[in-house]
A and B are shown apart, each in its own frame.
Chain A
Amino acid sequence: MLRLAALNLLRHRARNTLTAIGIAVATAILFDMVLLGDGIVHSFRELLVSLGYELRVTPRGTLPFSSDATFADARELRARLLADSAVDRVGTMLGETVYARRVRAGTGTEVASFAIGVDRGARDAYRLLLGSGLTAAESGEGHRGGEVILNGTLATALACAPGDTIVLGPARDAATGVVSGTRAFVVRGVADFYFDARGQRTLALDLADLQDLEGRRARDEASLFLVSLVAGHDAGSTAWRLGETLPAVDVYSVEELVRSVRARLSYFQQFSRILGSISLVVNFLLIGTIVGISVNERLGELALLRAIGFRRARVVTLVLAEAMLLALVAGGAGIALGLVLARYLDSILKASPGLPEAVSFFVVTDAGLARTLGFILSVGVGAGGVAAAIAARRPIADTLRREAL
């Protein structure tokens, strides 16, 4: 039956090839929309999970680094978090804008950069590429500071390498334009900061150093806690419990953060559903049209087959096999084309400002692949079924008289 279906399709190579190309293009768009539907959420979740912290604690009403909001008495808050039996490790972070300039002969211009103050528990928030990293001394009285880690973009902007000295300042004076309150820092490394957007300039330094620089030491301010849990403890219930006991903070598990990202990027999900549905309809029309035309041309043949003993069910199966074969072959090519197009479309969307460069919109998953194949097969069955029903219902004698004789 499959061989017969294939031979029927090959009878009109030119038009069936063109139709198959059309189906492949529509399938490629369908596949890409299936990937887009959950791609960025999946990618964001993978990124969060890869960092190894199950919970994020932020000032109430904010998301991590979504505003300048901070909480005071960070050390006390950290101790209260560590007092929970489910909590294994807590990293403290403070985020601020600073102005950085390399120290060398002559003047240089300051570049605005995003500075992250980290304590020992938060040093997994970046991956060191060059250099020795920040020293492991705890933030506190008598801490050894004066060191900084740069991301690649900032290192290039300042033409810096490990061992060079840069100057950081907290603010630019509105009247004179001079960056005041500066301090010198030695570059101890270049790192990859996981949540950097394209072109973002980021640096990390000791938490106490950044608090001193920004005048936040007195209140011991911080922006974010990263919390790692003891194995076996559920993140969701721990987040709820900590949120109840600490009313000034919001505690997010990975799933809750993913939900907030999903809500903020809902446009792409809606768009993917709309365009995916249209692609399905187009595929249905394409397959239905070409199989319908093919059946119309062969009504006499099909009537002859029935006259010599082919049962109705076999005729239906033959037409369905044609539709399914066309859907599978063209659909398979479409999925391959979709993989290529996904990379191109991903490169367009990843240029969105403020989006972490490590996050992708189009993520290939087994579930996405299976769903697309399922859609294509359903469309093949549906479209082929309509044509097959027409072919099977024709009265034999009437059709033979009109078509074959």
Chain B
Amino acid sequence: MSKRGAAALVLLSALTIGSCRAGAGTGAVTHEDPPVFLGRRLAAKEGIRPGDRVTLALRADDTAPDTFRVAGTFEDPADPAEISERPDYVRMQLPDLDRVAGLDGEVDRIAVRLADPARAREMADQLNAMSYGFRAHAADDLAEQASRSFVVIRRFHVAISVITIFGGGVFVMAIMLLKVEELKRELMILRLIGISSRTIVRSLMLEALLLTAAGSAVAIGLGIVLSLVVNAYYRAFYGTTLTFSQVTPGIVLLSVAVSAGLGLAAGAISAVRLSRRAPLEVLGH
């Protein structure tokens, strides 16, 4: 939405709904008043119901605002790009907005539904080649452009994830070293009775894998619960139906794979470290 359109909508709602409060529900509704629809958030905030009359103007100091009939309310668009601003929305017929805002036939965008949606990019290219003064975009391309903020946030989350994985890996390593330290006498006895170092290393790696698998299972369960909590909290906070957190099969697989990799590496390093020591030296201590 261009700044001009946004200005119209924001001013319309912010400036003049206040003036309509006094008029809401008073006087007869004239059916010559053109209809207007209010976003649910705005209607609830200002206590306006369908059937009420409102005045709309572009400027707060407009001495002759236009009168409209509230024909209904609609659910505010769940737009991630506008979520923290929580703008108020008003919908009306284009000629009415043109008259109120003095737009002189200007519009911000024209939405085109194609008979064959798969040809969207091709049609956009054809339109762009045909004329000046506008740019045609396929909806997917537009969504990608509008998502730049979320690309930044995604990179931020990935950076935090990498840091926490590193910290988690270090701690798994510490736990495995501890584990091996506790079992060193038993492990050396196994070596003395003929069990090979390779078998011991494999068993420790398996133990580490089981440990991290158990940890992964708990973590995934915790992640699902936290995801539900985050969604419930942010939906209530922002008054939206957007999904903020999602645990997908891909994320589960990645978490399990990373966890298993860390466990195997930790088990291998600690086991190899122990296997390099002479059994009698360890038992002697």
Contacts and interface: CB of A to CB of B under 8 A. Distances in A.
Interface of A: 12, 14-15, 18-19, 21-22, 25-26, 28-29, 59-62, 67-69, 71-72, 172-178, 247-248, 263-267, 270, 274-275, 282, 286, 289-290, 293, 341, 344-345, 348-349, 351-354
Nearest to A36: B156
Contacts of A177: 131-133
Contacts of B164: 25, 29
Nearest to A177: B132
B173 interface: yes
Interface stretch (B3-11, B47-55, B114-122, B253-261): B3-11
Contacts of B148: 352-353
A247 B163 contact: no
A345 B159 CA distance: 7
A20 to B, nearest CB: 9
Given A18-B171, A175-B131, A352-B149, A60 B14 contact: yes
B92 to A, nearest CB: 17
Given A68-B6, A71-B59, 17 more contacts: A15-B181, A18-B173, A22-B168, A25-B163, A29-B160, A59-B11, A59-B59, A61-B15, A247-B60, A247-B61, A267-B83, A270-B233, A293-B178, A348-B155, A348-B159, A349-B152, A353-B152
B218 interface: no
A263 B160 CA distance: 23
A69 B10 contact: yes
B170 interface: yes
Contacts of B144: none
B74 interface: no
B181 A12 contact: yes
B30 interface: no
Contacts, number: 123
Interface residues of B, number: 45
Contact of B60 (A18, A61, A286): A61
Interface of B: 2-4, 6-7, 10-11, 13-15, 59-61, 83-85, 131-134, 148-149, 152-153, 155-156, 159-160, 163-164, 166-168, 170-171, 173-175, 177-178, 181, 230, 233-234, 237
Contacts of A67: 3-4, 6-7, 10-11
Contacts of A353: 148-149, 152
B133 A175 contact: yes
Contact of A344 (B83, B132, B159, B171): B159
B164 to A, nearest CB: 7
Contact of B3 (A68, A176, A341, A352): A68
5 contacts: A18-B177, A67-B11, A267-B84, A286-B171, A354-B149
Q: Which of B60, B132, B166, B181 has most A Cβ within 10 Å?
A: B60
A264 B82 CA distance: 9
A352 B237 CA distance: 23
Contacts of B168: 22
B132 A172 contact: yes
A60 B15 CA distance: 7
A258 to B, nearest CB: 15
A196 to B, nearest CB: 17
Contacts of A22: 167-168, 170-171, 174
Given A61-B11, A293-B178, A266 B84 contact: yes
Contacts of A14: 177
Nearest to A22: B171
Nearest to A274: B230
B60 A25 contact: no
Contacts of B13: 61
B78 to A, nearest CB: 15
Contact of A248 (B59, B152, B175): B59
Given A59-B11, A61-B10, A270-B237, A248 B173 contact: no
B33 to A, nearest CB: 23
A62 B181 contact: no
Contacts of B85: 264
Contacts of A275: 160
A19 B3 contact: no
Nearest to A175: B133
A283 to B, nearest CB: 10
Across chains A and B, which 8 residue pairs bring their CB atoms closest together, nearest first? Answer: A177-B132, A61-B14, A25-B167, A174-B133, A18-B174, A67-B7, A22-B171, A68-B3
A290 to B, nearest CB: 7
A276 B84 CA distance: 21
Contacts of B156: 345, 348-349
Highest count of chain A CB atoms <10 Å: which of B4, B84, B174, B230: B174
A306 to B, nearest CB: 24
B133 A19 contact: no
B134 to A, nearest CB: 6
A349 B157 CA distance: 10
A172 B133 contact: yes
